[in-house]
Chain A
Amino acid sequence: MKQRLVVIGAGMASGRVLEHLTDAAPDAFDITLFNAEPCGNYNRIMLSPVLSGEKTYEEIVTHDDAWYAARGIACRFGEKVEKIDREMKVVEGDNGHVPYDKLVIATGSTPFMIPLPGHDLEGVIAYRDLEDTQRMMGMGPDNKVVVIGGGLLGLEAAAGMAAHGVDVTVVHIMGHLMERQLDEAAGHLLKKSLEDKGIKICLQANSKEVLGEDGKVRALLLDDGTKLPCDLLVMAVGIRPNTALAQEAGLATGRGIHVDDQMLTSDTDVYAVGECVEHDGEVFGLVAPLYDQAKVAAQSLLEEEAAFVQKTLSTKLKVTGCDLFSAGDFADGPGREDIVFRDPSRGVYKRLVIEEDRLVGAVMYGDTADGSWFFGLIKDGTSIEEMRETLIFGPAYQGGDTADPLSAVAALPPEAEICGCNGVCKSEIVEAINAGAGDLGAVRANTKASASCGTCTGLVEQVLQVTLGDAFQLPTAQPICGCTDLKHEDVRRLIKGQELKSQAAVWQELGWKTLDGCHVCRPAINYYLLADWPLEYQDDPQSRFVNERKHANIQKDGTFSVVPRMWGGITTPDELRAIADAADKYDVPTVKVTGGQRIDLLGVKGEDLPAIWSDLNQAGLVSGHAYSKGLRTVKTCVGTDHCRFGTQDSTGLGIKLEKILWGSWTPHKLKLAVSGCPRNCAEATCKDIGVVCVDSGYQISIGGAAGMDVKETELLCQVPTEEEATEVVMAVTQAYREGGKYLDRLYKWLGKVGMDWVKAQVVDDVENRAALVARFELSQSIYRKDPWAEHVKEKAQTYAPIADFTLEAAE
C-alpha cells in the first residue's frame, strides 16, 4: 500500500522535495499539499526582477496547477492548517483533517517587523511575497519610499523601485551596506553605484518611530531627529522561522524547528525543510542550502542514505549595474593575509583573504568574472602557494593560459559548483549531457542548473561546449571568427576589463590564433577599441572595409559613389550647382536622389575622389557618411515652417541632431528621422531612432528598420523639450555604441538588452543619461569632423597609384 505523505507549505524548499520525490519514485506516496496562500509555488528569489520589471510574475511560477495535477498531488491551497496531531498522525485543516504516515513541515519564515511605534500603520510592509512586490510596483516617480535594511533584500527592493523612478531612501543601522557579505571598501563602491542610480542611503541610522496620518504612514523618524517622508515604508531587516505549528505539536524547536542531518525532527515520522528549520544552531535564508535540504529530505523519505552538510555560501546581488561577489570568510584576523587589487577609475575592487596558503574568503566589486573560480578554491581548500603572485588576476593568468573562458571551465574539477542556487556541480551537468541533454534547455530540465536566478547560464553553456566539443553550437553567440574562441560579448568585456587599448594588445592578451586577425574580426575590434577608448585609441584605416577606409561606397565595377551631406535634407541652389558642376567635371555617369534625402553621384573613379571632395568642400559640402557603420542621415519633414499640420520645428530638430551625431561610429549603420506630426511624413517609425513631434512635445521611439527585416519602432519616452529630446537621442546612441555587438542594428541590440533596461538607463536615471551624453560628447570631440577634408589635405596621394608605367610608356 502507498504511504500517505502530507506537506505543509508550498514554497521553494517543499516544491523541490516534491520534485525529487515524484521524479525518483512517482508511486511511492499519496501526497497532500497544504498552502495558506491561495496559489502554488513560485520562485521567490526572482521577485526582485519582477519588481524591476525585468520579468513578469508568470515567468517565475515554478509549479502551476497542471504540474501538481500531473503528479497526482492533492492541493489544499488557501487552507490554513490548524493543528498537527502526532498521536493520531493527522493534520487538521480548516476543511477537514488528513491522515499521514509521513509529514513534511515547510512553513517557511515571516519577515521580522521592527516593533517601532507606528509599525502597524497602513503602508508599512515587508518584502516577502507577491503582494508586497505589487505594492512596490504601484509606486511611481511622484512617490517617496523608505526602505529599512541595507542587506541583500532591502537593496534589491530599493533598486527595483528606483528603476521605476521612485524616490527611494535606504536606512541602514550599520556602517556599510551588506555588512554580512561585504567589507567596507566593497560596501563603499556599492553605495556609490546605488547613489548613481538616484537612491539615497543613510548609514548608521537608527529608526525611532513611524509617523502617520489618518492611519497611513507619512514618514520615518530617526534617532537624530531626521524625518524621512514616505508613502510606503518597507522593512527588510531579516526573517524569523515559522515554528508555531511545530511548537504546538510538541516538536523540539529553538530559533527554528530542530532537525538532524537527515532533516528529521524530534518525531521520526516528521521532517522539516526550508526557512523554518534550525540545523546545528543555524537558520537559513539563502536558496542554495534550502535546495540541499530538500534533496536530503526526499532521499530520507525514500529511505536512501543522505546527509545535509552546511557549505560555504557565495552571494551575488541581482541589481543591474552593481556587480558584486562575496564568498567565505573575509574578516581580518591573526595569521590572515590580504591580496588587494583596486582600480579606482573603473570602480573595481578585489580582495582575497588567505590563511596558511589557502584561500578562505573573497570579496569583489565591479569585475566578478572570476568569482566562481575563487569560490571553488575556497570550498576545495586548494593550496594556492604556487599561484599566489598572480592569484588575484584569476584563472586566466594561471599556468600561462590565455583568457579563454573555456579553458577555465575545462580546468574546473568535477565537484566544482556551477549553479549556486540549485547546488549543481560540474559532474552532474556533464552526466546529464552524456545522457543526452544536448542544449541549455535540456540541461536545465534535467539538473536545474541555471534554472533559478540564471547568472550561471554562461557557465553552463561553457560546460556544454567543453563536454560536447564541436557537437555543441551556442545558439546565439558564436566566436567572432576563426581567429579566436571568444564571443563578441567576451571581447568587449575583456577590452574594458583588462584595459586593452590597441589591436596588438587584444591579439596578444586574448590569445588570438592568427598573427593579426582577419577581415571579420579586425573591423569589429577596431570599432570596439575606438568606442571604448576614444582618446587613447587611434582608428586604424587598414582594419576597415574599403568603403570606410576610402569614405565612399565601392560599386561592382570598382568605381565609387559620392554622397555629400544635406543636413536634415535641406539644401541650397549653390550646393546644387556645386554638385552639378562636380558631376560634369568628373564625368559622373549616374546622379540619383537617395532615400535619405540627398544626392548620390555614382561611378566616380577611385583616384578622382580627393579632387571631387575638394570641389564639394569648396561649396561647404561635407561627407554624408553614406558608407559608414555610423550615423547616416536624419530625415525630416517640413514641420511648422510650412506644413499646416506641423506641431514642432521638425526640420530644425533634425538638423540639430544631425550636426550633433555626424561622424560618430556605431555597431552598424544608424538612421534617424524627425516627423513634425503623427502623420509621420518622415517615416520616423521605421528608423533606428525616430522622433515624432506632438503638441505636447517629442515622442522618441527606437529599434525600427526597413531593410532585410522591417520593424516598427517601440516607444522609448515622450519629453517636453527639444533639449531633452536631443539628450535622450544622444544617450541612446551612446548606450548602443557601448553595448552593441558589431554589425547588430539597433533593433537587435534592443532585443538583447530589452526596452525596460534602455528606459532605466536613459529615461529614468537622469544622472546616467547625463553620463552617457558626456561620454558621447567626449568621443565626438575626436570624430565630429569631415573625413573628406582631412583626406584631401593629408592622404590625397594614397588615392593615386604608387607607380604608373602606362604614362612612361606613352612618352
Chain B
Amino acid sequence: MSWIDIGHIDEVPLRGARLVKTHIGCIAVFRTAEADVYAATNSCPHNGGPLSEGIVHGQSVTCPLHNWVFDLNTGEAQGADDGRITTYPVRLEDGRILLDDGAITRRSAA
C-alpha cells in the first residue's frame, strides 16, 4: 500500500471536511477531532448528496440533502436507513494527511 500526501490537517476544519477530486469520483476527507481523519466517497447512496458538505459529529456525518447519517468507521448508514458508503484508508503523519494510493487510482488502473 502506498500513501499519497493530500494536504495538512489544518486545511480541514475541525468537525468539517474537504474534497479530493479523482478520476473515479470525489472523496471526502473528514476531520472528526483534533487529530482524527476519515476518508469516504463524497456521494450519498440515497440521492447523491455531497457528504463533504454535511455536519460532522462524533465519528459520523449527516448528508445535507436528506439527513442520512453514516458511521465513518464502517460506512454503514445509521438508524432506519439502509445503505453504505465506501471508506478509504487514511492516516496522519506529522500533521500531513496521507490517503491510500489505491483509493485514487484503483479503478482507473484496472
Identify the A interface with B (CB < 8 A).
514-519, 522-523, 541-546, 549-550, 554, 556-558, 606, 798, 801-807, 809
Contact = CB atoms under 8 A, between A and B. Distances in A.
B16 A542 contact: yes
Given A518-B60, A523-B55, A802-B6, 11 more contacts: A514-B57, A515-B58, A516-B15, A518-B57, A543-B55, A545-B64, A546-B50, A546-B64, A557-B48, A606-B50, A802-B11
B33 to A, nearest CB: 8
Nearest to B16: A542
Contact of A806 (B23, B48, B50, B55): B23
A205 B103 CA distance: 84
Nearest to B20: A803
A802 B64 contact: no
A542 B50 contact: no
Contacts of B57: 514-519, 522
Interface string B46-58: 0111100111111
B55 A801 contact: no
Contacts of A542: 13-16, 55-56
B23 A798 contact: no
Among B14, B22, B29: residue with most chain A CB under 10 A: B22
Contacts of A541: 13, 16
Contacts of A606: 50, 53
B67 to A, nearest CB: 6
A801 B23 contact: no
A517 B55 CA distance: 10
Contacts of A801: 18-21, 26
A30 to B, nearest CB: 63
A802 B19 contact: yes
Interface string B75-96: 0000000000000000000000
A558 B50 contact: yes
Contacts of B12: 802
Contacts of B108: 809
Contact of A802 (B18, B54, B58, B65): B18
Interchain residue pairs A-B with the least CB separation, the first 9: A519-B62, A802-B18, A546-B53, A519-B55, A803-B6, A542-B15, A546-B64, A804-B21, A801-B19
Contacts of A515: 57-58
Given A518-B62, A545-B64, A558-B50, A805 B21 contact: yes
11 contacts: A515-B58, A517-B57, A519-B57, A542-B14, A542-B55, A556-B47, A556-B65, A558-B48, A558-B50, A803-B20, A805-B23
B72 interface: no
Indicate the size class of the contact surface on chain B.
Answer: 35 or more
Interface of B: 6-7, 11-16, 18-23, 26, 29, 47-50, 53-58, 60, 62, 64-65, 67, 69, 97, 104, 108
A801 B53 CA distance: 12
B54 A806 contact: no
A333 to B, nearest CB: 54
A735 B7 CA distance: 45
A606 to B, nearest CB: 8
Contacts of B64: 545-546, 554
Nearest to B64: A546
A798 B58 contact: no
A795 B20 CA distance: 17
Contacts of B69: 518-519
A517 to B, nearest CB: 6
B23 A803 contact: no
Contacts of B18: 798, 801-802
A546 B15 contact: no
A751 B38 CA distance: 45
A522 B55 contact: yes
Among A522, A544, A546, A549: residue with most chain B CB under 10 A: A546
Given A546-B53, A556-B47, A558-B48, A803 B7 contact: yes
A554 B29 contact: no
A336 B50 CA distance: 65
B65 A554 contact: yes
Nearest to B59: A515
Contacts of A549: 53
Contacts of A805: 20-23, 104
Contacts of A558: 48-50
Contacts of B54: 519, 546
Contacts of B23: 805-806, 809
Contacts of B19: 801-802
Contacts of B7: 802-803
Contacts of A514: 57-58
Nearest to A560: B53
A557 B22 CA distance: 19
Among A515, A518, A558, A804: residue with most chain B CB under 10 A: A558
A550 B20 contact: no
A801 B26 CA distance: 9
A804 B4 CA distance: 12
A804 B26 CA distance: 9
B73 to A, nearest CB: 14
